[in-house]
């Protein structure tokens, strides 16, 4: 089939109405071309799709007479001058009913109707605004980018956007599960599974569909109105600066705010392109970042300390602490669901105060009733009755577990309740004093030949005094490295053998899952304190009482992860969405619609970042900062959620990363001794917060300035 086109000149500049027309078929068709004509041989498969759609219109019967209804097809083609000015091409193509009779300008008689339809590009079909039936309300499946001359910029933006989302998963998502893993409520693999499901499902199903063009209105996007290509470049530099800084911070275990890193990138690119005076330094702009350093950890720390102090004072240290913990679960469940409903459930919903209270009470009551119907009988049978025959799937029996017959006698050597020792590896104050006294005595012992005994410290087993724990349960001085902490050594065989290839995939993709975070937290590092003494100063409570709070901690972690994927993912990928909108449409809207494929790609990148590199932040926001148990971890996560609720209602600047950090410090101080926290690590974390905005602004601004002011060839 021969492809030919007829060129006509436009009679209008901005209105895009063509002056020439082709008559025939279903009406008068005017194809208007500007200074740049449309290539017919490019994107032939896409043109075939346009042919199939327009053939339906061409098959309709023609209207008689010169007043017959027709349509004019025009498409906005962006033309860029040589020296960087960005202005739309005067030629515009729009599909609209024609009010004039077709002129006496006909196509080549040898050009059939189908041949003519093949000259229409998918971009022309996509930019149509008033398609007649059967095209009304439909949109082309394929879009030709308006700023196609900047394809390389968009490609680099997409690559670094994936890296940025990967780092957000390794940093932002990891700090949400650090408390659950450090308290042993979840294993590393369980935490990865819960986070993967909740983050991806939250972003893909109920993720935010609209995001600000410039995060938190740091810069007015209308400053780039005349040069959308510069805004595209600014988004690329912002994402590059943010991703590089997050990679360095995550590698060093700094739990930084990913939102603040993006804000810093905006500040840098705006300063380099339009000037520092165009940056919004007010309370609703950059100033909120500085205020968040004090407001966020202060509120979350106070709430976390109050919650744990009340739990310790009225439940954990009382007689019958296990029963008190059991009966406190419905209250804490109601409080947790209420906070999460206010936080994420009704944000942006226009409801009266009365309807808001009804929605909160109904949601929290419903979840509490379900928890009481299934979870409470299961905990009663497993913990109170100590039914060793109970399996996890028996939870679905609900109230029937209350009438379950007494279990048979426990077999010899069988663990009766299967409840974890949440304090395993953490010595009490008395045990630590005994161990260190034994070490001092051991150092003074000399062998017969006068040499010091050659004993590896990690292999020395010290028995606590009989008054503290039975001698039959020896406790290692320092737990040996878990066999699951590192990937096994490379198996024998050639590089392309199945075993070696599987080992390589496991090393790259599943590296983070194989890490034993709790053992890694005990290693000496630059920012470590006397961890043994710090943990010994915190009280140890009944493991059965702690087990009650592990379920609540999993609930808060999973719900927070789902809401993070539903809301924060859209904000995190807003720079890339803005770049995509500018590249594909050539316009700068105040808000941009986030396509579902971007949400899915962002959610998948977050999950991959958590799986492969999240352990770096988890080992920092864990037992290195303070001793974490299920009761403590639950208070930390609940305090973080309550802080977000309060700050949102009071319109105070907050950061979820700083919320969980402040709550962790507050719970640690509630132990009654300031030495229960690691002050060196707190200072290290604060330093990461302070340098986030300047570092990302410097990286993004320097890159933006170098590109804008780079020398060009003179022609």
Give residue 613's pLDDT: 84
Can you spell out the DSSP letters for 232-288? HHHHHHHHHHHHHHHHHHHHTT----HHHHHHHHHHHHHHHHT-GGGB--STTTTHH
**Closest to 300 (Cα-Cα) out of 622, 605, 644, 627:** 644
CB-count burial class (<10 Å; 0-12, 13-18, 19+) for 58: middle
Q: Which residue has better confidence, 538 or 442?
A: 538
Q: What is the average per-residue pLDDT within 239-268?
A: 90
Residue 451: band (very low, low, confident or very high) from pLDDT cuts 50, 70, 90: low
**Closest to 174 (Cα-Cα) out of 193, 189, 192, 197:** 192
Can you spell out the DSSP letters for 458-506? GG-EEPPPTTTS-TTS-EESSPPPPTTSSPPPPPSS-TTSHHHHHHHHH
CB 305 within 8 A of CB 670: yes
Which of these ranges, 275-279, 606-610, 698-702, has the smallest mean pLDDT?
606-610
pLDDT, one tens digit per residue, over 497-550 is 888 888 877 777 666 676 777 777 766 566 667 788 888 888 999 999 999 999
**Closest to 216 (Cα-Cα) out of 262, 173, 269:** 262
% of the chain at pLDDT higher than 90: 18
- Say which residue the tokens 């859209």 belong to: 570
- Which positions ≥6 away from 286 have C-beta within 8 Å? 218, 263, 267, 279, 280, 693
CB 16 within 8 A of CB 91: yes
Give residue 541's pLDDT: 92
pLDDT, one tens digit per residue, over 615-667 is 888 888 778 889 999 999 999 988 988 888 787 777 776 777 888 899 999 99
- Which positions ≥6 away from 521 have C-beta within 8 Å? 182, 531, 619, 622, 623, 624
Q: What is the average per-residue pLDDT within 410-430?
A: 76
Residue 247: band (very low, low, confident or very high) from pLDDT cuts 50, 70, 90: very high
Q: Which residue has better confidence, 382 or 30?
A: 382
CB 48 within 8 A of CB 191: no
Torsions phi, psi for 334 (to 5 deg): -60, -45
Pairing of strands 210-212, 591-593: antiparallel
Q: What is the average per-residue pLDDT within 154-162?
A: 92
% of the chain at pLDDT higher than 70: 66
- Give me the residue spans of the domains in the chain: 150-348+530-704
Q: Which residue has better confidence, 128 or 229?
A: 229
**Closest to 168 (Cα-Cα) out of 531, 479, 614, 684:** 614
pLDDT surpassing 80 at residue 415: no
pLDDT, one tens digit per residue, over 78-108 is 333 444 444 444 333 333 343 444 444 444 4
**Closest to 502 (Cα-Cα) out of 514, 486, 491:** 491
pLDDT surpassing 50 at residue 710: yes
- Which positions ≥6 away from 84 have C-beta within 8 Å? 227, 229
CB-count burial class (<10 Å; 0-12, 13-18, 19+) for 305: buried
Residue 243: band (very low, low, confident or very high) from pLDDT cuts 50, 70, 90: very high
């Amino acid at each position: 089939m021969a492809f030919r086109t007829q060129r006509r000149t436009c009679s209008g500049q901005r209105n895009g109405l063509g002056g020439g027309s082709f008559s025939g078929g279903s009406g008068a068709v005017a194809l208007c071309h500007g200074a740049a004509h449309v290539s017919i041989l490019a994107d032939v498969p896409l043109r075939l799709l346009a042919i199939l759609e327009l053939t339906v219109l061409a098959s309709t019967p023609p209207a008689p007479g010169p007043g017959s209804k027709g349509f004019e097809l025009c498409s906005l083609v962006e033309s860029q001058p040589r020296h960087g000015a960005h202005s739309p091409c005067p030629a515009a193509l729009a599909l609209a009913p024609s009010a004039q009779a077709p002129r006496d300008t006909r196509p080549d008689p040898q050009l059939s109707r189908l041949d003519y339809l093949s000259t229409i590009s998918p971009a022309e079909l996509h930019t149509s605004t008033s398609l007649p039936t059967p095209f009304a309300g439909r949109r082309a499946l394929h879009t030709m980018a308006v700023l196609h001359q900047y394809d390389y910029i968009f490609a680099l933006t997409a690559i670094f956007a994936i890296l940025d989302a990967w780092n957000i998963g390794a940093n932002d998502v990891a700090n949400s599960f650090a408390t659950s893993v450090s308290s042993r409520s979840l294993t590393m693999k369980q935490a990865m599974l819960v986070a993967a499901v909740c983050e991806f499902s939250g972003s893909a199903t109920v993720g935010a569909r609209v995001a600000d063009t410039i995060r938190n209105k740091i810069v007015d996007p209308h400053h780039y109105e005349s040069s959308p290509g510069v805004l595209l470049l600014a988004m690329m530099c912002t994402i590059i600066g943010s991703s590089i800084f997050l990679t360095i911070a995550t590698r060093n275990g700094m739990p930084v705010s990913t939102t603040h890193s993006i804000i810093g990138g905006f500040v840098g690119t705006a300063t380099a392109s339009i000037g520092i005076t165009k940056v919004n330094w007010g309370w609703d702009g950059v100033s909120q970042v500085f205020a968040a350093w004090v407001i966020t950890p202060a509120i979350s720390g106070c709430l976390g300390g109050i919650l744990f102090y009340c739990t310790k004072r009225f439940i954990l240290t009382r007689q019958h602490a296990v029963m008190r913990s059991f009966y406190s679960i419905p209250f804490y469940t109601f409080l947790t669901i209420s906070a999460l409903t206010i936080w994420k459930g009704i944000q942006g919903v226009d409801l009266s105060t009365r309807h808001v209270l009804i929605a909160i009470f109904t949601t929290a009551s419903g979840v509490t009733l379900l928890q009481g119907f299934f979870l409470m009988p299961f905990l009663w049978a497993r913990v109170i009755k100590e039914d060793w025959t109970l399996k996890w799937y028996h939870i679905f029996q609900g109230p029937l577990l209350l009438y379950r017959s007494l279990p048979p006698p426990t077999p010899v050597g069988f663990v009766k309740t299967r409840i974890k020792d949440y304090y395993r590896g953490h010595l009490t104050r008395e045990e630590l004093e005994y161990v260190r006294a034994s070490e001092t005595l051991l150092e003074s012992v000399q062998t017969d030949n006068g040499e010091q005994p050659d004993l590896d410290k990690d292999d020395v087993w010290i028995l606590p005094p009989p008054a503290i724990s039975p001698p039959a349960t020896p406790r290692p001085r320092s737990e040996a490295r878990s066999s699951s902490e590192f990937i096994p050594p490379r198996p024998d065989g050639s590089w392309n053998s199945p075993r070696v290839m599987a080992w390589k995939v496991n090393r790259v993709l599943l590296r983070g899952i194989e890490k034993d975070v709790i053992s890694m937290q005990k290693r000496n590092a630059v920012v470590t304190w006397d961890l043994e003494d710090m943990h010994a100063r915190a009280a140890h409570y009944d493991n059965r009482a702690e087990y009650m709070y592990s379920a609540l901690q999993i609930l808060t972690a999973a719900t927070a992860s789902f809401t993070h994927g539903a809301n924060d993912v859209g904000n995190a990928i807003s720079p890339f969405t803005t770049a995509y909108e500018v590249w594909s449409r050539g316009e700068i809207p105040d808000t941009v619609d986030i396509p579902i494929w971007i949400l899915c790609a962002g959610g998948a990148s977050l999950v991959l970042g958590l799986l492969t590199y999240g352990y770096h932040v988890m080992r920092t926001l864990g037992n290195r900062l303070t001793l974490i148990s299920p009761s403590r971890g639950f208070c930390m996560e609940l305090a973080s959620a309550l802080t977000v609720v309060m700050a949102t209602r009071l319109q105070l600047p907050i950061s979820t990363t700083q919320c969980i950090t402040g709550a962790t410090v507050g719970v640690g101080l509630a132990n009654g001794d300031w030495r229960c926290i690691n002050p060196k690590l707190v200072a290290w974390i604060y330093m990461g917060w302070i340098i986030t905005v300047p570092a990302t602004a410097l990286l993004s601004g320097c890159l933006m300035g170098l590109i804008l002011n780079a020398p060009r060839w003179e022609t």
